[in-house]
Amino acid sequence: MARQKVVGEGAEPPKKKFTRAKRDATSEPVESAPVLDPSPDTVEDAPLNALRPTSFDDYVGQREVLDSLKIAVQAARSRDEAVDHVLFNGPPGLGKTTLAHIISKEFGSKLTQTSGPTLERPLDMVGLLSNLEKGEVLFIDEIHRIPRAVEEYMYSAMEDFKVDFVTGKGTYSRTLTYRLAQFTLVGATTRAGMLSGPLRDRFGLTYHLDFYSPEELSQVVTRSAGILGVQINQEGSDEIARRSRGTPRIANRLLRRVRDYAQVNADGMITGKIATHALTSEGVDEMGLDRLDRLYLTTLADQYSGGPAGLNAIAATVNEDAQTLEDVVEPFLLKIGLIVRTPAGRKATQAGMDHSGVPSLISPGPQQASLL
């Protein structure tokens, strides 16, 4: 099995990327992220994450990406060269980190993992690069957050496998050239647009990971249930998949929630009905939208008459961080066609207007129920 080491941790406490509303005090302590937040939770962070696929065959979906990567890995192995540098771009929770691990495993090399914000000084980067072995995968998460001064050292490292490091000042300055082993840089970003042109151009392979289909997510749920030893039928998997916002990390998280619900309220078996009850009680509606998504939609629909409205204006109205809305809420609402982005701002589509008017999770009180 490929050895892995994590570098750069501790240099700066990892910044919390998203600030969704806190879960209530009765929530399980193991999961810090709200149920539909695609950012990693503590379970997913665990190095021995049992649910993470470890080979191309285990990995569900993203067929075109996998086919291309398989060829790249095989070809590099037969030439006895490192795999070309790879950039993965896409929303959180779609499997970018998983693919970096799979590349190193399938290639039979080590993986070193770090993230953009922890590489504060050029020396951090030079130290990291000079320790890499031939064929090793250097995985940099949030690569768009590498400081520009550090990034410049990566250009010649990626292209010529060397770094020129200047020591001293003025007439006493000297340039030291470090020869590096042929390594593979795998970068992951949720914001490809923030990557500089020179850095982007140095990746030989660039892939955009898209949201998963409900069928693919249902396979993810069935596979994870098998690993966790949870009994689930097809309807149960399908129901969880439908409400997982196209994101495997969320599918796995919802599966664990529904598993708990099934243990307490039923005989442990997850059926479609159990999944529906459990997820509705978690505030996840039939389209996979949660409280914040619905608040965003109703704000846009009601207060801005469907838009167009600027992101910052919406963020101020719903009292949420604009970056959270842009990274977490909007990609899925755009994907399922409830909103559109226009030069003048965000607009709700007809489907978005309709959905905002559906109080699907507000169960009727006893008096109302008797009227219906």
Residues involved in catalysis: 96-97, 141, 190, 249
β-strands 184-189, 174-179 pairing: unpaired
Nearest to 199 by CA among 157, 151, 127, 139: 151
β-strands 174-179, 162-167 pairing: antiparallel
Cα–Cα dist 75/365, whole Å: 63
* Helix axes 234-242 and 272-281, enclosed angle (nearest 10): 30
For residue 167, what are the contacts with CB-CB under 8 A and spacing of at least 6? 173, 174, 176
Q: Which stretch binds ligand ADP (CB under 6 A): 90-98, 172-180, 264-272, 331-339?
A: 90-98
Q: Does 307 help bind ligand ADP (rule: CB under 6 A)?
A: no
Q: Does 332 help bind ligand ADP (rule: CB under 6 A)?
A: no
The single residue among 97, 189, 276, 324 that binds ligand ADP, judged by CB under 6 A, is 97
Nearest to 343 by CA among 315, 318, 307, 313: 307
In the region spanning residues 182 to 201, those forming contacts with ligand ADP, defined by CB under 6 A, are 188
DSSP result, 293-312: HHHHHHIIIIITTT--B-HH
Q: Does 315 help bind ligand ADP (rule: CB under 6 A)?
A: no
Q: How far is the CB of 275 from ligand ADP (least distance, A)?
A: 18
Size of the site for ligand ADP (CB under 6 A): 21
Q: Does 52 help bind ligand ADP (rule: CB under 6 A)?
A: yes
Q: Does 60 help bind ligand ADP (rule: CB under 6 A)?
A: yes
Q: Which stretch binds ligand ADP (CB under 6 A): 46-54, 118-126, 274-282, 312-320?
A: 46-54
> Residues 206-219, buried b or exposed e (16+ Cβ, 10 A)?
ebebebbebebbbb
Q: Does 210 help bind ligand ADP (rule: CB under 6 A)?
A: no
Nearest to 242 by CA among 282, 275, 266: 275
Q: How far is the CB of 169 from ligand ADP (least distance, A)?
A: 40
The single residue among 36, 76, 82, 98 that binds ligand ADP, judged by CB under 6 A, is 98
The single residue among 95, 117, 246, 288 that binds ligand ADP, judged by CB under 6 A, is 95
Cα–Cα dist 140/133, whole Å: 16
Q: Which stretch binds ligand ADP (CB under 6 A): 6-14, 69-77, 91-99, 165-173?
A: 91-99
Local structure of 15: helix, strand or coil:
coil
Q: Does 295 help bind ligand ADP (rule: CB under 6 A)?
A: no
- CB nearer ligand ADP, residue 95 or residue 122: 95
Q: How far is the CB of 318 from ligand ADP (least distance, A)?
A: 24
Q: How far is the CB of 247 from ligand ADP (least distance, A)?
A: 8
The single residue among 7, 51, 150, 315 that binds ligand ADP, judged by CB under 6 A, is 51
Nearest to 270 by CA among 225, 309, 330, 223: 225
The single residue among 33, 69, 94, 150 that binds ligand ADP, judged by CB under 6 A, is 94
- Which secondary-structure segment (H or E) carries 139? strand 137-141
Q: Does 61 help bind ligand ADP (rule: CB under 6 A)?
A: yes
Name the amino acid, one letter, at 248: P
Q: How far is the CB of 251 from ligand ADP (least distance, A)?
A: 8
Name the amino acid, one letter, at 22: K
Degrees (nearest 5) of the Cα angle 219, 61, 189?
120
Q: Give residue for tokens 């949201």.
A: 211
Q: Does 118 help bind ligand ADP (rule: CB under 6 A)?
A: no
In the region spanning residues 227 to 286, those forming contacts with ligand ADP, defined by CB under 6 A, are 248-249, 252
Residue with smallest beta-carbon separation from ligand ADP: 95
Local structure of 25: helix, strand or coil:
coil
Q: Applying CB under 6 A, which residues contact ligand ADP?
A: 44, 49, 51-53, 59-62, 92-98, 188, 220, 248-249, 252
